[in-house]
Chains A and B, each alone.
Chain A
Amino acid sequence: MTDIPMPLAIEMSGITKFYGNLAANDSIDLDVRVGEIHCLVGENGAGKTTLMNILYGLVHPDEGEIRIFGEPEHISNPMKASRLGIGMVHQHFKLVESYTVAENVILGQEPKKSLFIDRKAAYQITKDISAQYGLAVDPGALIQNLPVGVRQRVEILKTLYRGSKIIILDEPTAVLTPQETKDLFKTIGHLVEGGKTVVFITHKVKEVMAVADRVTVLRRGKRVGILERGNITETALTTMMVGREVMLEIDKKPKQLNGVLLRVNGLTAKGDRGNVVVKNVTFNCHRGEIVTIAGVEGNGQTELIEAITGLRKVLYGEVCINNENVANHSPAQVRAIGLAHVPADRISIGLCVKEKISENLIAGKHRSHTFQKGIFLDWKKIQEYSKKAVNDFDIRTPGCEELVQNLSGGNMQKVVLARELLFQSDLLVAVSPTRGVDVAAIEAIHQEILKARDSGRAILMVSTDLDEVLQLSDRILVMYNGEIVGEFDPKNTTREELGAYMIGARRQEKSTEAAVESVVTHG
């Protein structure tokens, strides 16, 4: 370790950004040295995305300073960031499918030959840059024919073409196969050899250990630590990321299992970007038990739930509710068998925000006899029902005729919960049931979920909040990279242990109980 300070590419000091009362970034310092590979890690909600958005000019900080290559800068928009030499490779690629690699690279700064694009020059420039940094691509290939890993290389080429000196990669391996991930690491090595500085955002411990020169760990908006190569261990990272707070006890009756209700067998499904995100998942859920799937967001939990509830195609595997396989049935059919579902996206999917609270509460039950009077809807009964539900679930609103879009986020969530819980279904699937809900209401919601469990229903929960996971669950399954990597009894585990599994540092061998014979054979 020399005493001469190494030149800094990025120096962010005291960056603070508030959204309402919440500090997404709380006085964060970040230094990135020239020519290093710097990883930025943290769970969802830690503040990584906000920080990078500030660096890239998409968001302005409330406080703090930024220096780029030593010069204080005010990054007002992405164009400015680009001019300063900052290039970003987003999670969702911005490539025109029907264009070639070269065309995408030069878009916006085309080499010209009088009035026309100089296509030969474009081809050559692309070839040169890719050779220089070891990014193998065919400049003439069409994007639509390229696999994800190669598309990502094109995104990197775009930043290089614009002369970026700092390249930010936002969760780049989320869509890559293991082989492609290896190739990416090689590429990053080439970039650094070429004098570039790389910032790598991730939550996967193995990756950090594979490439990082230094790591900055964020948690709940603050920087909790920096580690230097040589000192980067899984334990250190896990502890920093997940913390060691004291757990609050919750009053919970001992569980009373009553047979298996939900049996998921070898479930495999693809994500929106065409890659497999749910990989051979097998588990079950008994009546009278709360099973929670814990994990960092983006590891396939959402897609898993969509596959179970009929909102996503199941490629392989079974989903059995009450011994009936409902894989690839419509949402209506799955609900009919006995499912209620509190979805991940409450606003776009779980509610019709332009309709009234009462309408949202009876949706799904609107065909039932109780709400009909002859061939018409019995609005009087509907309103009585709604009033009671609003009261029972403490939904803060001037009235049931209010449009849902005028409610606060927490109250919207309560409407969804009220409706789904009131189905009294055998199986309740709840994704992030208390996200965005105020502290007082979280307690009430947890009580409702426990009530449901005590009355003999099966509850499958998904949550990123480890406190909630540890307090409510009877069993915990950790999901990482599309697979169930561990099963735990909440009484016998700790935040650190769960955290280690959540970031891929550890995994269990599949337990025999879970490995039920798969009916479908793989090709």
Chain B
Amino acid sequence: MVESLFPKGTARFWTALLSILLAFAIGAVMIIVNGDNPILAYSTMIQSSLGSVNNLAATLAVATPLIFTGLSVAVAFRTGLDNIGSEGQLYMGAMAGALVGIYLKGLPTTVHITISILAGAIVGGLWGWIFGWLNVKLKVNLVVTTIMANYLGILFTSYLANYPFKPPRAPIGSTTFVQDSARLYRFFDSSTLNAGFLIALAMLVVYALFFNYTKFGFEWKTIGLNRFFARYIGMNIHRQMLWAMFASGGFAGIAGAVEVLGVQGRFVQNMSPGYGYDGILVALLAGNSAPGILAVSILFGALRIGGIGVEQVTNVPSELSSVLRAIIILLVAAQAVIFAFLKTRRKKHHELGSTVRS
């Protein structure tokens, strides 16, 4: 079970901040080695990701799918489920959303979009639920099966796009465009930022309300923190864990459907540059909290867009953002562990008795 990376509360925030700053410092070294000016690079990064309305829109557009996949992973991790399969669930949901968007005709926009996204959520949810069932009922390792499921989801949807649903004269691996009634509203002509972002914000609120204010959220949280206690106190842990897997896959499915309806307009194979995996990093950095997911998604979005901007102005490749992301996570993982280590040192002196007594 992936424990939340963080010690607690405010310490969590400072740990994250420190890791981000340290990562930028390491990045600066890399930039210098490359023969460029880190200050120029970073200021360009900030400017091109947050410096104008257009840029901000681009950042938020990239942040949108991350919010969904971040939620997907956060739901699972918080309930004690190691779902690494958001990427595959995203693709399955995307295809479902695309098909409903293509083949249902004559519906008012709100209805059409709702049904399409719902389809994405359900299919994505099922693609998570299956492996949750194998894990809960047969004790099959969830990490491995969901990693396998990623590739199965990607391959299967690529197959669908290239064979049964291949339109004539379309580029390889795409379906036809969805009906206009299924397109998500774009805020600006110059950017892909769409109403999906608002849906993401709504989902964040739902997530926060669910875990903090509902009895089911309380159960899921408790199951994630101490499964033995949950069972002892009378919670039906299997049933709740299965629902959690469905919800987790569902969020990832929505990510895919929104990408299709809001950005691409159709299903395109390999359209996700790893949103599912990034969702894992988002959830971990955010400590599974809703405001954290929002903040980290925007941060990652800014890194990605900023990285592209940096590449245009300097010689620094845009992959700098990937590198920074990975370093942040490694640093955070290490810090959390150092905190835990210090805490257990203190506890050990305290409690050396109770374990070794009599």
Which residues of the partner chain A approach B228 to less than 8 Å between Cβ atoms? 348-349
**Does A343 make an interface contact (CB < 8 A)?**
yes
**Does B33 make an interface contact (CB < 8 A)?**
no
How does the 8 Å CB contact mask read for A330-372 relative to B, with 1 for contact and 0 for none? 1110011000010100001111111100010001101100011
With most chain A CB atoms within 10 A of its CB, the pick from B219, B231, B357 is B357
Asked if B358 contacts A48 (CB within 8 A), the reply is yes
How does the 8 Å CB contact mask read for A41-74 relative to B, with 1 for contact and 0 for none? 0001111111001000011000000000000000
Among A18-26, A204-212, A276-284, A474-482, the one that faces the other chain is A18-26
Asked if B232 contacts A366 (CB within 8 A), the reply is no
Distance, CA A379 to CA B218, complexed state (A): 12
Which residues of the partner chain B approach A350 to less than 8 Å between Cβ atoms? 229, 232
Which residues of the partner chain A approach B354 to less than 8 Å between Cβ atoms? 19, 409, 436
Smallest Cβ distance from B96 to chain A, in angstroms? 28
Distance, CA A47 to CA B236, complexed state (A): 41
Asked if A343 contacts B232 (CB within 8 A), the reply is yes
Contact of A24 among B218, B234, B357 (CB under 8 A): B357
Smallest Cβ distance from B48 to chain A, in angstroms? 41
**Does A376 make an interface contact (CB < 8 A)?**
yes
User: Which residues of B in the span 222-280 have a Cβ within 8 Å of any Cβ on A?
Assistant: 222, 225-226, 228-236
Distance, CA A46 to CA B233, complexed state (A): 33
Asked if A354 contacts B226 (CB within 8 A), the reply is yes
Smallest Cβ distance from B240 to chain A, in angstroms? 12
**Does A246 make an interface contact (CB < 8 A)?**
no
Asked if B215 contacts A377 (CB within 8 A), the reply is yes
**Does B164 make an interface contact (CB < 8 A)?**
no
Which residues of the partner chain B approach A46 to less than 8 Å between Cβ atoms? 358
Distance, CA A376 to CA B209, complexed state (A): 8
User: Which residues of A in the span 411-468 have a Cβ within 8 Å of any Cβ on B?
Assistant: 436
Which residues of the partner chain A approach B214 to less than 8 Å between Cβ atoms? 375-377
Which residues of the partner chain A approach B219 to less than 8 Å between Cβ atoms? 366
Which residues of the partner chain B approach A22 to less than 8 Å between Cβ atoms? 353, 357
How does the 8 Å CB contact mask read for B158-187 relative to A, with 1 for contact and 0 for none? 000000000000000000000000000000
Smallest Cβ distance from B58 to chain A, in angstroms? 37
Distance, CA A48 to CA B225, complexed state (A): 35
Which residues of the partner chain B approach A309 to less than 8 Å between Cβ atoms? 232
**Does B352 make an interface contact (CB < 8 A)?**
yes
Asked if B225 contacts A24 (CB within 8 A), the reply is no
Asked if B357 contacts A45 (CB within 8 A), the reply is yes
**Does A125 make an interface contact (CB < 8 A)?**
no
Which residues of the partner chain B approach A53 to less than 8 Å between Cβ atoms? 356
Asked if B232 contacts A349 (CB within 8 A), the reply is yes
**Does A174 make an interface contact (CB < 8 A)?**
no
**Does B213 make an interface contact (CB < 8 A)?**
yes
Which residues of the partner chain B approach A19 to less than 8 Å between Cβ atoms? 352-354, 356-357
User: Which residues of A in the span 67-100 have a Cβ within 8 Å of any Cβ on B?
Assistant: none
Interface size class of B (residues with CB under 8 A): 20 to 34
Smallest Cβ distance from B226 to chain A, in angstroms? 4
Distance, CA A354 to CA B232, complexed state (A): 16
Q: Which residue of B is nearest A436, CB measured?
A: B354
Distance, CA A24 to CA B209, complexed state (A): 49
Asked if A331 contacts B234 (CB within 8 A), the reply is yes
Q: Give the number of A-B contacts (CB < 8 Å).
A: 90
Which residues of the partner chain A approach B356 to less than 8 Å between Cβ atoms? 19, 49-50, 53, 58-59
Asked if B225 contacts A44 (CB within 8 A), the reply is no
Which residues of the partner chain B approach A377 to less than 8 Å between Cβ atoms? 213-215, 218
Which residues of the partner chain B approach A343 to less than 8 Å between Cβ atoms? 232
Q: Which residue of A is nearest B358, CB measured?
A: A45
Distance, CA A130 to CA B356, complexed state (A): 33
Which residues of the partner chain B approach A364 to less than 8 Å between Cβ atoms? 233-234
**Does A192 make an interface contact (CB < 8 A)?**
no
Smallest Cβ distance from B283 to chain A, in angstroms? 18
**Does A148 make an interface contact (CB < 8 A)?**
no
Smallest Cβ distance from A72 to chain B, in angstroms? 24
Q: Which residue of B is nearest A363, CB measured?
A: B233
Distance, CA A377 to CA B213, complexed state (A): 5
Which residues of the partner chain B approach A348 to less than 8 Å between Cβ atoms? 226, 228-229
Distance, CA A377 to CA B235, complexed state (A): 17
Contact of A376 among B213, B231, B358 (CB under 8 A): B213
Smallest Cβ distance from B220 to chain A, in angstroms? 12
Distance, CA A379 to CA B209, complexed state (A): 13
**Does A311 make an interface contact (CB < 8 A)?**
yes
Distance, CA A402 to CA B237, complexed state (A): 25
Contact of A50 among B222, B236, B358 (CB under 8 A): B358
How does the 8 Å CB contact mask read for B297-322 relative to A, with 1 for contact and 0 for none? 00000000000000000000000000
Q: Which residue of A is nearest B231, CB measured?
A: A331
Asked if A352 contacts B218 (CB within 8 A), the reply is no
Distance, CA A371 to CA B231, complexed state (A): 21
Which residues of the partner chain B approach A50 to less than 8 Å between Cβ atoms? 356-358
Asked if A352 contacts B234 (CB within 8 A), the reply is no
Contact of B234 among A58, A332, A351, A436 (CB under 8 A): A332
Contact of A352 among B209, B213, B226, B357 (CB under 8 A): B226
Distance, CA A472 to CA B229, complexed state (A): 28
Which residues of the partner chain B approach A330 to less than 8 Å between Cβ atoms? 231, 234, 236
Distance, CA A40 to CA B312, complexed state (A): 78
Smallest Cβ distance from A247 to chain B, in angstroms? 23
Which residues of the partner chain A approach B231 to less than 8 Å between Cβ atoms? 311, 330-331
Contact A341/B232 with A375-B214, A376-B214 known, Cβ cut-off 8 Å: yes
How does the 8 Å CB contact mask read for A309-344 relative to B, with 1 for contact and 0 for none? 101000000000000000000111001100001010
Distance, CA A397 to CA B230, complexed state (A): 24
Which residues of the partner chain B approach A355 to less than 8 Å between Cβ atoms? 221-222, 225
| A and B contact pairs by CB, cutoff 8 A, 23 listed | A22-B357, A45-B358, A47-B358, A48-B358, A50-B358, A58-B356, A311-B232, A330-B236, A332-B234, A332-B235, A350-B232, A352-B225, A352-B226, A355-B222, A363-B222, A363-B229, A364-B233, A364-B234, A366-B218, A367-B215, A375-B214, A376-B214, A377-B218
| Given A46-B358, A330-B231: 16 more A-B contacts, CB < 8 Å | A19-B356, A24-B357, A45-B358, A49-B356, A50-B356, A331-B232, A335-B234, A348-B226, A348-B228, A348-B229, A352-B225, A355-B221, A363-B229, A366-B215, A375-B214, A379-B213
Closest 10 CB pairs of A and B: A19-B353, A332-B234, A376-B213, A45-B358, A364-B233, A352-B226, A335-B234, A352-B229, A363-B233, A354-B225
Residues in chain B within 8 A of chain A (CB atoms)? 209, 213-215, 218-219, 221-222, 225-226, 228-236, 352-354, 356-358
Residues in chain A within 8 A of chain B (CB atoms)? 19-20, 22, 24, 44-50, 53, 58-59, 309, 311, 330-332, 335-336, 341, 343, 348-355, 359, 363-364, 366-367, 371-372, 375-377, 379, 409, 436
